A and B are shown apart, each in its own frame.
Chain A
Amino acid sequence: NAGVMQNPRHLVRRRGQEARLRCSPMKGHSHVYWYRQLPEEGLKFMVYLQKENIIDESGMPKERFSAEFPKEGPSILRIQQVVRGDSAAYFCASSLRTGAEKTQYFGPGTRLLVL
């Protein structure tokens, strides 16, 4: 059973460009979460999605950031007009369901570097 897949593993963008980060959850998992790991700030929740629904995006910056989890295909975290402060590791996690089973399994992450 393949784990959570993320690509690309490393992404370099210049200021003002767009970054698209992709995440394929574990097989059978329908809940996807994105977290950001900033230097000196630790791991922070960004957004929680189920298929075709954003459940909680309270951790996402209000501007330039968006996320989706379409009926078919991977979840996408999109950052428009990147700035240097967006440089971080972005991790996707998935879970089977909430309620009794809350275990989130993480992907390898995408390291974004903004020049």
Chain B
Amino acid sequence: AQSVTQPDIHITVSEGASLELRCNYSYGATPYLFWYVQSPGQGLQLLLKYFSGDTLVQGIKGFEAEFKRSQSSFNLRKPSVHWSDAAEYFCAAVNDYKLSFGAGTTVTVRA
């Protein structure tokens, strides 16, 4: 079955420290991959996407993600987090039109 896994439910990071959120997918063929961010009570904002080509993709708000086919992973990174990055982050995949989401990782930023 097609699935997306985010192993970390909750991550706490200090402001200014680096952040990495893990995502693994299980699909027959490489799907299209996305990261979305959701602030409390808000909708989902697209951070970045990977379709093909360069395996390191840049997104908004200083985020980047690296696609690794051999590991079926699409991890999200940010070199230096800001307090405003506290939110829930969702990895998602699609190969036709149905987005499958991971369970989400909640990021807490401490001062």
Residues of A within 8 A of B (CB): 4, 6, 31, 33, 35, 42-45, 48, 55-56, 59, 91, 93, 95, 98, 100, 102-109, 111
User: Other than the known A43-B44, A107-B43, what 18 A-B pairs have Cβ atoms closer than 8 Å?
Assistant: A4-B43, A6-B43, A33-B97, A42-B103, A43-B99, A43-B101, A45-B99, A45-B100, A48-B98, A55-B97, A56-B98, A95-B97, A98-B96, A103-B49, A104-B99, A106-B36, A106-B46, A109-B43
Interface size for B (C-beta < 8 A) is: 22
List 15 interface pairs A-B (beta carbons < 8 Å), by A numbering: A33-B97, A35-B99, A42-B104, A43-B44, A43-B90, A45-B99, A55-B97, A56-B98, A59-B98, A98-B97, A102-B94, A102-B97, A103-B34, A103-B46, A108-B43
CA distance A53 to B1 in the complex (A): 27
Residues of B within 8 A of A (CB): 32, 34, 36, 41-46, 49, 51, 90, 94, 96-104
- A91 partner, pick from B32, B43, B103, B104, beta carbons under 8 A: B43
CA distance A55 to B46 in the complex (A): 24
B53 → A minimal CB distance (Å): 13
Chain A interface, DSSP helix/strand/loop, else mixed: strand
Cβ-closest chain B residue relative to A3: B43
Chain B contacts for A104, CB-based, 8 A: 94, 99
A58 → B minimal CB distance (Å): 8
Chain A contacts for B51, CB-based, 8 A: 100, 102
CA distance A109 to B44 in the complex (A): 9
Cβ-closest chain B residue relative to A42: B103
Chain B contacts for A93, CB-based, 8 A: 44, 99
A6 → B minimal CB distance (Å): 8
B10 → A minimal CB distance (Å): 14
B49, A33: Cβ atoms under 8 Å? no
Chain B contacts for A55, CB-based, 8 A: 97
CA distance A4 to B49 in the complex (A): 18
